[in-house]
């Protein structure tokens, strides 16, 4: 079996090449971009539930935008719900980097992802794109957990973690400094704008804070992933 460090390097190299070098590479990354959207919107929903609100529907659109229909009390809870989506991809990416460093852990990680996708499909997903993307991705992860070799399974888990990190450093950095966003062709207030409205202060300050927290999380995950320990 290849080392967890080498697997991490391969995952980073593959993601970077697909993003910047390989023709139609971004098209190949498209399913993972939709996965990042699912993580983001699920983060909003779970934050709503954690603050006593409700998570009604999760919509994913073909342009890789998404919308979580949530309900919650005004004030600081609105900020928590908005931050839940912003920080969900770096949190999940950091956890995957830190945890999925060996065959047993990688199997558990991809199985948990498959289970989470299936649960969200039953409970919240309510859009045509979601009805296609979520079950197909869940089937891929379930297949990987059950049938793939150890090396391929670890590589998949690390690749998902890296693509979530790239999404954070790509889409989220620009998104964190915008006051509005287009979802399914319609303009609405961005998550950072909602945080600023709920808690006060300039949106750009909250955006900078979100980016710093995301980078710290990812750095911590990468540091744990790089530490040389026996893989399990």
pLDDT at 47: 97
| 192 three-class SS | helix
In a domain, 30, yes or no: yes
Per-residue pLDDT tens digits for 177-194: 788 777 777 788 889 999
CB under 8 A, 24+ apart: contacts of 211-215: 211/172, 211/173, 211/176, 213/87, 213/90, 214/86, 214/87, 214/89, 214/90, 214/168, 214/172, 215/90, 215/169
In a domain, 145, yes or no: yes
Per-residue pLDDT tens digits for 3-13: 667 887 888 88
% of the chain with per-residue pLDDT over 70: 95
In a domain, 150, yes or no: yes
pLDDT at 232: 65
Q: Which helix (H) or strand (E) holds 45?
A: helix 25-50
pLDDT at 4: 67
In a domain, 175, yes or no: yes
pLDDT at 8: 78
pLDDT at 2: 58
If one counts the domains in the chain, the total is 1
Name the residue range of residue 219's domain.
Answer: 4-226
The angle subtended at Cα 202 by Cα 199 and Cα 206, nearest 5°, is 70
In a domain, 231, yes or no: no
In a domain, 232, yes or no: no
pLDDT in tens, the chain (232 residues): 556 678 878 888 888 788 777 787 788 889 999 999 999 999 999 999 999 999 999 999 998 889 999 998 888 999 999 999 999 999 999 999 888 888 899 999 999 999 999 999 999 999 999 999 999 999 999 999 999 998 899 999 999 998 888 777 777 777 777 887 777 777 888 899 999 999 999 988 998 999 899 889 988 988 888 876 545 6
CB neighbours of residue 122 within 10 Å:
9
In a domain, 45, yes or no: yes
pLDDT at 174: 75
pLDDT at 218: 86
């Amino acid at each position: 079996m290849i080392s967890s460090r080498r697997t991490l390097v391969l995952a980073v190299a593959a993601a970077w090449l697909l993003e910047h070098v390989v023709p139609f590479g971004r098209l190949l990354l498209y399913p993972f971009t939709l996965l990042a959207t699912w993580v983001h919107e699920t983060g909003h929903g779970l934050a709503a539930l954690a603050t006593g609100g409700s998570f009604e529907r999760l919509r994913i659109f073909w342009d890789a935008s998404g919308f979580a229909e949530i309900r919650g009390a005004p004030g600081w809870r609105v900020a928590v719900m908005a931050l839940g989506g912003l920080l969900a991809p770096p949190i999940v990416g950091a956890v995957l980097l830190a945890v999925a460093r060996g065959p047993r852990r990688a199997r558990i990680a991809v199985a948990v992802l498959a289970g989470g996708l299936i649960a969200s499909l039953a409970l919240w997903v309510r859009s045509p794109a979601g009805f296609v993307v979520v079950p197909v991705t869940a089937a891929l992860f379930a297949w990987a957990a059950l049938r793939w070799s150890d090396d391929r399974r670890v590589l998949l888990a690390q690749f998902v973690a890296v693509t979530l990190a790239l999404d954070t450093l790509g889409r989220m950095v620009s998104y964190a400094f915008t006051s509005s966003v287009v979802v399914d062709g319609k303009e609405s207030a961005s998550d950072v704008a909602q945080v600023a409205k709920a808690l006060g202060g300039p949106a750009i300050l909250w955006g900078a804070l979100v980016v710093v927290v995301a980078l710290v999380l990812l750095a911590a995950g990468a540091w744990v992933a790089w530490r040389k320990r026996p893989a399990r």
